[in-house]
């Protein structure tokens, strides 16, 4: 195996491979034809990514025998809704895709989630592949088969589980990411460190992970390997997979309260800082960790606080999927590299958030 070419197998049924290497978009047709015989491929992308990567993706697919149509939607979380989803479904139908054809999600988290959901719904399910171009999609959202759109009541409230047929992560796309987008993905990778891997966390603490830096492909591979293990054991989030929602209860609330102007990773970073402070204040943490989580986020250009009040955030969080009747499951860090699930009465959420903001 070449040093800069890494593959991770995700052992779901069916299983698939995540390939991480520079220059993969130029080879995507050749690599995909090993898992999907050449067919019609609908490339779903956004207006930021299309000018950068659509042509080379299309050319590679066409050279490998795929016939390609493409649908670019306006970039941004504001597009991740039923209206854009319906346009994508109509586009698939107008282009007469059949069950032997496929969807390719070329872009970041919004594109992957929405194209994946369109693939899950169209003709009751067709194959799709993930071609992540953002760090957030590379380390988290392109793997694991969660697909969704937002509803006005909250984030990702309409969705389905559908594993992709393959994930091709072209690391060259990450070298030119604007700093805000790089930081957004770093938050999800730092989350993986807090959950499972102190060494990964330390790499971010020490400022080793930067656009184009030497450890970046290994960091992505480590995040994907951690996530793959969880998804293999609990694909449909009945238990262990809930851990991957660290920072997301408050994070989703911040996204919602801000009208989705705070990017997902930034919101999750703030959510992690809040729950870490709460864990320390309420005696749930087994070591002092809030200070180093906040410092790590800040040194990776991420915010650690919000102007929204605990009341506003608690109210927004109550429409979250992590609520179940009168209880909500929070992901609580005990040590760097180890977190637990804590079920709480919904009525206690506000005081936990307050402890995390004032503690």
Instruction: Kindly list the catalytic residues.
Output: 124, 146, 188, 227, 237, 241, 245, 248, 252, 264
Minimum CB distance to ligand GLY, residue 281 (Å)? 26
Minimum CB distance to ligand GLY, residue 258 (Å)? 19
Task: Report the alpha-carbon distance of residue 102 to residue 39 in Å, rounded.
Answer: 7
Minimum CB distance to ligand GLY, residue 52 (Å)? 25
Binding mask 336-355 for ligand GLY (x = CB under 6 A): --------------------
**Residue owning tokens 């080879």:** 27
Measured from the CB atom, the residue of 79 and 163 that comes closer to ligand GLY is: 163
**Residue owning tokens 């729950």:** 275
Q: Which residues pair with 107 in a beta bridge?
A: 132
Measured from the CB atom, the residue of 71 and 201 that comes closer to ligand GLY is: 201
Measured from each CB, the residue nearest to ligand GLY is: 244
Q: Of 347, 341, 308, which is closest to residue 325 (Cα–Cα)?
A: 347
Which of these segments, 19-27, 141-149, 151-159, 199-207, binds ligand GLY (CB under 6 A)?
Answer: 141-149
Minimum CB distance to ligand GLY, residue 308 (Å)? 22
Q: Does 290 bind ligand GLY (CB under 6 A)?
A: no
Measured from the CB atom, the residue of 46 and 140 that comes closer to ligand GLY is: 140
Q: Does 322 bind ligand GLY (CB under 6 A)?
A: no
Minimum CB distance to ligand GLY, residue 237 (Å)? 6
The Cβ of residue 178 has, within 10 Å, a number of other Cβ atoms equal to: 10
Instruction: Encode the chain in three state secondary structure.
Output: CCCCCEEEEECCCCCEEEEEECCCHHHHHHHHCCCCCCCEEEEEEECCCHHHHHHHHHHHHHHCCCEEEEEEECCCHHHCCHHHHHHHHHHHHHCCCCCCCEEEEEECHHHHHHHHHHHHHHHHCCEEEEEECCHHHHHHHCCCCEEEEEECCEEEEEEEECCCCEEEEEHHHHCCCCHHHHHHHHHHHHHHHHHHCHHHHHHHHCCCCCCCCCCHHHHHHHHHHHHHHHHHHCCCCCCHHHHHHCCHHHHHHHHHHCCCCCCHHHHHHHHHHHHHHHHHHCCCCCCCCHHHHHHHHHHCCCCCCCCCCHHHHHHHHCCCCCEECCEEEEEEEEECCEEEEEEEEHHHHHHHHHHHHHC
Minimum CB distance to ligand GLY, residue 214 (Å)? 26
- Rule CB under 6 A: which of 241-260 touch ligand GLY? 241, 244
Minimum CB distance to ligand GLY, residue 248 (Å)? 7
Q: Does 144 bind ligand GLY (CB under 6 A)?
A: yes
How many residues at the interface with ligand GLY, by CB under 6 A?
Answer: 6
Q: Does 146 bind ligand GLY (CB under 6 A)?
A: yes
Which of these segments, 53-61, 140-148, 158-166, 335-343, binds ligand GLY (CB under 6 A)?
Answer: 140-148
- Rule CB under 6 A: which of 225-244 touch ligand GLY? 241, 244
Q: Does 140 bind ligand GLY (CB under 6 A)?
A: yes
Binding site for ligand GLY (CB under 6 A): 140-141, 144, 146, 241, 244
């Amino acid at each position: 195996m070449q040093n800069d070419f890494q593959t991770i197998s995700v052992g779901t049924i069916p299983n698939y491979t995540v390939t991480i290497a520079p220059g993969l978009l130029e080879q995507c047709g050749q690599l995909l034809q090993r898992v999907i015989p050449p067919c019609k491929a609908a490339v779903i992308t956004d207006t930021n990514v299309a000018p950068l990567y659509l042509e080379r993706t299309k050319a590679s697919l066409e050279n490998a025998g795929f016939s390609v149509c493409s649908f670019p939607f306006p970039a941004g979380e504001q597009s991740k809704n039923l209206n854009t989803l319906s346009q994508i479904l109509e586009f698939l139908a107008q282009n007469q895709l059949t069950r032997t054809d496929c969807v390719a999600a070329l872009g970041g988290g919004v594109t992957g989630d929405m194209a994946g959901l369109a693939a899950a719904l169209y003709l009751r399910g067709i194959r799709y592949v993930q071609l992540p171009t953002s760090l957030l999609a590379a380390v988290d959202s392109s793997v694991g088969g969660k697909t969704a759109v937002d509803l006005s009541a909250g984030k990702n409230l309409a969705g389905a589980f559908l594993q992709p047929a393959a994930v091709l992560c072209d690391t060259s796309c990450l070298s030119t990411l604007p700093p805000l987008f790089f930081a957004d993905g770093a938050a999800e990778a730092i989350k993986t460190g807090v959950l499972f891997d102190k060494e990964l966390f330390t790499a971010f603490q020490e400022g080793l992970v930067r656009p184009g830096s030497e450890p970046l492909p290994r960091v992505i591979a480590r995040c994907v390997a951690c996530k793959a293990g969880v998804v293999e054991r609990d694909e449909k989030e009945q238990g262990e997979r809930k851990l991957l929602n660290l920072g997301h209860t408050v994070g989703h609330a911040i996204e919602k309260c801000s009208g989705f102007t705070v990017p997902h990773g930034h919101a999750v970073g703030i959510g992690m800082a809040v729950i870490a402070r709460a864990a320390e204040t309420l005696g749930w943490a087994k070591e002092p960790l809030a200070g180093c989580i906040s410092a790590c986020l800040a040194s990776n250009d991420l915010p650690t606080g919000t102007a929204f009040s605990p009341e506003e955030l608690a109210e927004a969080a109550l429409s979250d999927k992590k609520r179940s009747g009168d209880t909500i499951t929070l992901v609580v860090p005990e040590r760097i590299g180890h977190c637990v699930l804590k079920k709480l009465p919904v009525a206690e959420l506000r005081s936990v958030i307050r402890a995390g903001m004032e503690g």
